């Protein structure tokens, strides 16, 4: 009798625990923000005088476009009003010297960073 009661208790406890785990996992998946910037690329890259940063946006939003040197110093910054669909940012090297830079697109929920090379 004690064994039957103990087995019943274990089954009930494990079933309750499994139900609680499924609820928690479901809550975690709902709190993960969805990517809004897709297909981010620079063309041409490497470039000599100017390039275009291309991306798709899944919603209308403000995007912060920054370019940093390898020491982490911001050398260019601009706010872009992205529309749903294809967007392009024209970037001119101006007085930047040859070398590698990191460009970033930042929204409220994500940051996408990639390499940019000036010849």
pLDDT mean across residues, the chain: 84
Of 35 and 76, more confident? 76
DSSP one-letter code for 12: H
Strand ranges across the sheet with 99-106: 74-82, 61-69, 99-106, 111-118
In the chain, domain spans: 1-32, 37-118
Model pTM score = 0.72
When pLDDT is cut at 50, 70 and 90, the band that residue 49 belongs to is very high
- CATH architecture of the domain formed by 37-118: Sandwich (2.60)
The pLDDT of residue 36: 87
pLDDT exceeds 50 at position 34: yes
């Amino acid at each position: 009798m004690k064994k039957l009661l103990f087995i019943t208790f274990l089954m009930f406890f494990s079933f309750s625990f499994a139900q609680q785990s499924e609820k928690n996992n479901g809550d975690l998946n709902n709190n993960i923000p969805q990517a809004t910037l897709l297909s981010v690329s620079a063309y041409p890259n490497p470039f000599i005088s100017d390039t275009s940063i291309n991306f798709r946006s899944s919603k209308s939003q403000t995007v912060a476009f920054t370019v940093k040197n390898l020491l982490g110093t911001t050398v260019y910054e601009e706010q872009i009003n992205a529309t749903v669909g294809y967007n392009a940012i024209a970037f001119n090297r101006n007085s930047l010297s040859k070398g590698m830079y990191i460009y970033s697109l930042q929204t409220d929920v994500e940051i996408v960073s990639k390499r940019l090379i000036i010849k």
